[in-house]
Amino acid sequence: MQEWLWMTAADLGRGIGAGEIDPLALTETYLAAIDAHPEAHRVYARVTHGRARAEAKAASLRAASGHRLSALDGVPVSWKDLFDTAGIVTEAGTKLLDGRVPDEDADVLKAATASGLVCLGKTHMSEIAFSGLGLNPIMGTPPCINDKDAVPGGSSSGAAASVAFGLAAAAIGSDTGGSVRIPSAWNDLVGLKTTHGRLSTEGVVALCAQFDTVGPLCRSVEDAGLLLALLEGSKPADLAGATLKGARFAILDTVTLDDLREAPRAAFESAVARLEAAGATIIRIQMPELHDAFYHGFNLYAADSYGHWRDLVEAHPEKMFPHILERVRGGQHVTGADYVASWIKMKAIRKAHDALIAGFDAVIMPTAPIMPPHAERLMTDDEYYKSENLLALRNTRIGNLMGGVSLTLPTGVPSCGIMFNAAPHCEEKLLRIGTAAAKALS
């Protein structure tokens, strides 16, 4: 049964469908692994033993009667602690929401439960989801699978750790500036950032409502496609026969390749060579407008986050990690006129971006220009914290600013991912590209 802990969600689902895996036994295996793991308290904010067992028992009965609800009916997953869970504390990684108990599940959790997914519990995260590092000295910093002294990436930090350490078959996180993709990359997972608005954020604690998205962290592209479908109640993408032959990728030279550390650079170059060997054509492009996008993006993120959190933050600033408090307060001086003007500029840049990439299947870049930073140094060196935090999310933020869809895949080099960006609402196309790319990179 221990081998179940390392199987993809899709393979577990197939095992359940074939009668080889009992959902209740599978869930008990995961719960036992969580309860026995020495770092579980750093991964899970709380484990929902009772809910998991009840949902697994129901899945077991459905499997026995041949009436499964979906391909993943009976598969146990974790949920980032900003998804509302009825009767279960949901705190978004902050003491500002200490003891907050929602009355009902978030919409996506309702959809997942209706499709038979089993909720194992709620995972730790960066405070209010406002950091790509995963450092949370107040509520808990999860471990990184490749470096015991490093942060795991954030803000879906515990989500990534739950999968990487074999404590969940997959995880559901959120991505506002890279919060699914950075922890996925640094823990050698697949991470999907969905188009803004495709998946409901009703019942999800907001950071920046105009950029917040929901997405899976998992072991395979197939898993990402199945989870996307379950979270919105749609049909999974058809990934059969996916190939890179004839695919056209653009390497975005503007910004994304600046200041790359040695390991991410080497991993990216190797990955590009393997994509080309599998039949892809790769062309380098420039987009000077990105510099303006980052400038206006500051106004948009800062005002949005401060607007959501101002009252709680200013009532109890002492409850927050100072670095997160400083970032939230960055929105204090963004005027309404600044915010509107920045959206006007951003929409024009998005239009130019979509026209530039229209002839390509995806734009590729290193997921992160840096390796997972040292956790203790982040706590003692303010300049190191600020520089690493900004660099961590630099490349991923492009997908959010441009409003598109983005997929990160492992390159085979620990904690180094390669990212594929595409235009809005191209999830199915990108999942097919990702399926073929993953084969070429494996």
Q: Mind listing the pLDDT tens digit for each residue in 176-190?
A: 999 999 999 999 999
CATH number of the CATH domain containing 214: 3.90.1300.10
Name the catalytic one among 126, 156, 162, 179. 179
Do 252 and 228 lie in one domain? The reply is no
Do 131 and 66 lie in one domain? The reply is yes
* 134 assigned to some structural domain: yes
Structure token pair of residue 181: 């993709």
DSSP code, position 229? H
* 237 assigned to some structural domain: no
Name the catalytic one among 155, 156, 157, 415. 155
- If DSSP states are collapsed to H, E and C, what string results for 59-110? HHHHHHHCCCCCCCCCCEEEEECCECECCECCCCCCHHHCCCCCCCCCHHHH
User: What pLDDT is attached to residue 54?
Assistant: 98
Catalytic, 80? Answer yes
The continuous run of DSSP H or E covering 408 comes out as strand 405-410
- Report pTM: 0.98
Do 197 and 286 lie in one domain? The reply is no
C-alpha to C-alpha distance for 122 and 78, rounded to whole angstroms: 6
Question: pLDDT (tens digit, 9 = 90+) per residue, 364-422?
Answer: 999 999 999 999 999 999 999 999 999 999 999 999 999 999 999 999 999 999 999 99
User: What pLDDT is attached to residue 1?
Assistant: 86
Catalytic, 220? Answer no
Do 66 and 117 lie in one domain? The reply is yes
User: What pLDDT is attached to residue 209?
Assistant: 97
Structure token pair of residue 429: 């196309």
Name the catalytic one among 60, 70, 78, 80. 80
The domain in which residue 211 lies consists of 2-232
